[in-house]
A and B are shown apart, each in its own frame.
Chain A
Amino acid sequence: MRLVLISRRLAIALLLPTVGETTLAATNKLTIDGIRVQGTQVQVTVTYPVAASGTVWNIYSLDTNKALTQATSRWQIADTNVALTGATATVWIDVGQGGRQPVPLFSNRFYIAINPAYDQDADGLSDGQEHFIEKTDRTLADTDGDGILDRDELNIGLDPLVAETNCILGTIYASAGGQPIGAAIFELAFSPTALRIIGVGSSGQLKPHEYSVGQTTNYLSGASDIAYYQAHSRASPTSDTALVAVLFRKIGTSGQATGVSVTSRQCKHADTGAVLSSPSVYVSGVPSTLP
């Protein structure tokens, strides 16, 4: 992120005492007031009615030359933590941050400034992110109504617009960095010959361990009806809490997915086997048809 002073007025303003400056989010509006392409940069000028500083905004961008629709127009996060300068205008410079293409590699690009502090449904996703990027309902914490919050679905790699029918969401507690910290145990109401994890993920500092999407069987505990997903704490902080989700899909004799029934689930310490907590189970359905 680069900030550039754009006018003598702005420069003078910066020399003045900051008395009276305020947080923009509380009182005023941001407006994109000019765009200039200069060399390999796009200079986007944002203005606001009164001097403000310290307010953090995000910039989203959208590249397209096709028909623009709600379904297909996915904005990208161009920059975050864009602080205003304390005067009434700031220039944000687009040099292709976030893996986006810089000038002149893109044809058409639009910008909008997002206030990440606004989250009507308190699901952990800002209104701007829900409306422009995720396309979720910013007034509903659980857009698809499957019991898993939009933010949690995104964190664990699920689609917040598609209701999950065979997902178990549990809680695992981390203890020490680099050490096994627990396992989510899922008891199944059948004797599986093979299972496939079709989606795993975690929030917080926990990272999926060992078992990647598409792997089968080797995470089954013996020949019984128990499967588990194990997580390690790999990074600081050394203790953390994370949501872990496992989507089960039973593989039939023909290799096609068949039904999965889940009867109960719990989290246990990986070493001691002690039950760590009753996991927060949002979905405990018995799906007849897998997604």
Chain B
Amino acid sequence: MSLLHRRGILTSLITLALTALSSEGQTTNQAWSTNAAGVIAVDVPRGGLVLASMPLEGFGQVANVSNTIGSQVPDGTAVWVWNLSNDSYSVTTRTNTWSTGDLALNRGIGFWFIATATNAWTTTSARVYLPGVLPLGTLSTTTVATIYTNDYVGYAFPHDQLFTNLTLVKQAVFGSKVILWNVAAQQYYGSYSRGVFGWPPSLSTMSVYAARGFIFSTTNAVSWTEVFPCDWF
């Protein structure tokens, strides 16, 4: 058994254990299920790009392209997953199946949907529902490490959040940037730079939307830790 295989099993076991513990205190009286789960929609336009991010945990295993996106996009669609450790993409393309279906979609990491405009598309866009488990309990604290230079990231929880509420933005140093992707215009927009006295006021009204990614640029390596502000479960 390879080391990677062992690590995969270990990761799955840890995920299972954490999932079981995620609703600690609520399972004792069995008033409700041990977890809550759901889906988050991402609309992928034919021939377009979407910068996304996975905000949910996998069901007892690591969320990956096959078990999360599956056949919800037409053949020819590619998924480019950003790798923080080496600043590069891992790519998988769908042709009946995904070429590298086990490519992980970890929370907090950005990835691109890159759609072609082939005849495989019968509609102008494909709605992709990303399924998963709500990150509660011990999973409610998530760290994305390490962010440096230009990285594609996303908010690790399944709801909209103001950029100015993100610890990543709060702790940013002078010269850091937030760059967004405009799906409708198919181009980058809104490059917000942190000045000497802070972020531009216009950023205070901007949100990172559920399951969407953005680019964060920084000159100092940072670890981004967020806590799910969930008091409704």
Contact = CB atoms under 8 A, between A and B. Distances in A.
B206 interface: no
Interface SS of A by simple majority:
mixed
B133 A127 contact: no
A22 interface: no
A113 B159 CA distance: 21
Contacts of A106: 41
Interface stretch (A64-72, A140-148, A150-158, A250-258): A64-72
B29 A35 contact: no
Interface SS of B by simple majority:
loop
A241 B212 CA distance: 54
Interface string B123-142: 00001010111100000000
A108 B34 contact: no
A37 B159 contact: no
Interface string A117-132: 0101000001110011
B32 interface: yes
A107 B232 contact: no
A37 B59 contact: no
Contact of A128 (B32, B133, B230, B232): B32
A29 B34 contact: yes
A80 B147 CA distance: 46
A73 interface: yes
B131 A113 contact: no
A34 B159 contact: no
Nearest to B42: A107
A35 B31 contact: no
A30 B31 contact: no
A108 B37 contact: no
Contacts, number: 113
A226 interface: no
B160 A66 contact: yes
A68 B159 contact: yes
B32 A115 contact: yes
A278 to B, nearest CB: 36
B159 A66 contact: yes
Interface string A96-119: 000000011011111111110010
B40 interface: yes
Nearest to B128: A37
Contact of B134 (A37, A110, A126): A110
A221 interface: no
Contacts of B20: 31
B210 A37 contact: no
Contact of B37 (A29, A107, A110, A127): A110
A161 interface: no
A69 B37 CA distance: 17
Contact of A111 (B27, B36, B72, B209): B36
A107 B41 contact: yes
B39 A69 contact: no
Interface string A179-201: 00000000000000000000000
A21 interface: no
A110 B38 contact: yes
A120 B59 contact: no
Contacts of B39: 35, 37, 42, 108-109
B48 interface: no
Given A35-B37, A110-B36, A69 B231 contact: yes
B31 A128 contact: yes
A257 B156 CA distance: 50
B158 A32 contact: no
Nearest to B162: A67
A128 B36 CA distance: 13
Given A61-B38, A68-B232, 12 more contacts: A28-B30, A29-B34, A32-B133, A37-B39, A67-B160, A67-B229, A69-B232, A73-B232, A107-B40, A112-B33, A118-B30, A131-B32
Interface of A: 25, 28-37, 42, 44, 46, 61-62, 64-70, 73, 103-104, 106-115, 118, 120, 126-128, 131-132, 138
Closest 8 CB pairs of A and B: A110-B38, A127-B31, A113-B33, A118-B31, A35-B131, A73-B232, A32-B37, A112-B36
Interface of B: 19-20, 27, 29-41, 59-60, 70, 72, 127, 129, 131-134, 158-161, 209-210, 229-232
24 contacts: A29-B34, A30-B33, A30-B34, A31-B35, A32-B37, A32-B133, A36-B131, A64-B159, A66-B159, A66-B160, A68-B159, A68-B230, A103-B129, A108-B38, A108-B40, A108-B41, A109-B39, A110-B158, A111-B38, A112-B32, A112-B33, A115-B32, A118-B30, A138-B31
